[in-house]
Amino acid sequence: MRERYRREHLEQLNALPTSDKIDYAVRTPALPWALQTPSDPNGSATRIRRKRGRLLVVQHVSFAGPGPLRAHLEAAGLVLDVIDVSAAAALPSTLEHYDALVVLGGPQSVLDRQGWPTRTQEATLVAEALRDEVPYLGVCLGAQLLGVEARGVAYRGPAAEVGWTPVATTAQCAFDPVFRVVPRRLHVMSSHVDHVSLPAGATRLMSSSAYPNQAFRVGRIAWGTQFHPEADAAFAATRRRLVPGWAEDEVPANGDERFFERHAGAIFAAVFSRFAAVVDAAATRRRELSPALLNRP
């Protein structure tokens, strides 16, 4: 079983277009028409000078940072403002000065009515991203916040998903501008027990046996993942120490942790680069429609 699994996933990875592999620059995805650069109706060569896009990244605990996500977004020329709210750092009141929003995971529970000190601010920013179609990526807690703000329902799952979890893509995933590079089956890094129902009109992209909404898209450019695509070896080592039962559940009997880590890393490197392309396209269009933004800080 182990060799069959390894062979199947290597075949899936090798089937990716060359430009979608980790060792190469990822091509710009086929974006929704609303995000494509407006054409000049007069056919002139005049172009407005572009600036790099800026992302706000909300971090909830010191050991769960953006990890490899940061490297891939910065490699695409984007600027990240990472704010760790566990260090009492203040969040901006709006996304006025940002071209995208990323909300990471954390030990907080979306089911906690009292929330955590920045929950109301974070919910306001997520709602703003949805309203104004600002590109959004939510991880674990960030995905649950996305689901709730899009009128999904948060709930406690049947059992904790800890360590490497098998997931499968849906038919719709093959048409998603960001997650289309994910193979049919994959093991992903998990650490959660809360979940959220699929909001009305959202698109389910990935599922597991216990948690049906492992990845989903709301509207055109807001994504949530229940698992941790940004997890690296340091994340896994820390969670192994902190989460009861992690060591027992971390690696399936037919699996090789290093193989899972390399394979998932290659796949999500392509996903992150495609998300960066969405952010870049949205930022470009926003500036072309609002030239005053060219001079913003």
**The dihedral formed by the CA atoms of 176, 179, 183 and 189, expressed in degrees to the nearest 10:** -150
Phi and psi (nearest 5°) for 130? -65, -45
Range name among 100-104, 148-152, 219-223, 250-254 with the lowest pLDDT average: 250-254
- What is residue 2's predicted lDDT score, i.e. its pLDDT? 40
CA distance 128 to 101: 10
The domain locations on the chain are 2-14+52-290
Range 143-165 average pLDDT: 92
* Per-residue model confidence (pLDDT) at position 21: 38
Q: What backbone torsions phi and psi does residue 282 show, to the nearest 5 degrees?
A: -65, -40
Do residues 268 and 229 make contact, with C-beta atoms less than 8 angstroms apart?
yes
Contact partners, residue 177, CB within 8 Å, separation at least 6: 29, 30, 31, 32, 274, 278
Q: SS3 for 28-56, per residue?
A: CCCCCHHHCCCCCCCCCCCCCCCCCCEEE
d(CA 196, CA 149): 11
For residue 31, pLDDT over 50 is answered with no
Question: pLDDT tens, 191-216?
Answer: 888 999 999 999 999 999 999 999 99
Instruction: Please give the residue that has the higher pLDDT: either 254 or 74.
Output: 74
Q: What is the pLDDT of residue 245?
A: 56
Q: List 215's β-bridge partners, or say none.
A: 206, 225
- What average pLDDT does the chain have? 80
The 10 Å CB-count burial string (b at 16+, else e) for 62-101 is: eebbbbbbbebbeebebebeeebbbeeeeeeeebeebbbb
2-14+52-290 is a CATH 3.40.250.10 domain: no
Residue 143: pLDDT over 70? yes
pLDDT for position 270: 96
Residue 286 banded pLDDT, cuts 50, 70, 90: confident
pTM for this entry: 0.80
pLDDT at residue 112 in the model? 87
State the Cα–Cα distance between residues 170 and 231, nearest whole angstrom. Answer: 23
Mean pLDDT of 2-31: 42
Residue scoring higher pLDDT (296 or 45): 296
Chain-centroid distance of CA 284 in Å reads: 21
Segment 39-73, tens digit of pLDDT: 333 333 323 334 579 999 999 998 889 999 999 99
Residue 239: helix, strand or coil by DSSP?
helix
At 16, the pLDDT band (50, 70, 90 cuts) reads very low
The whole-number average pLDDT for the span 20-24 is 34
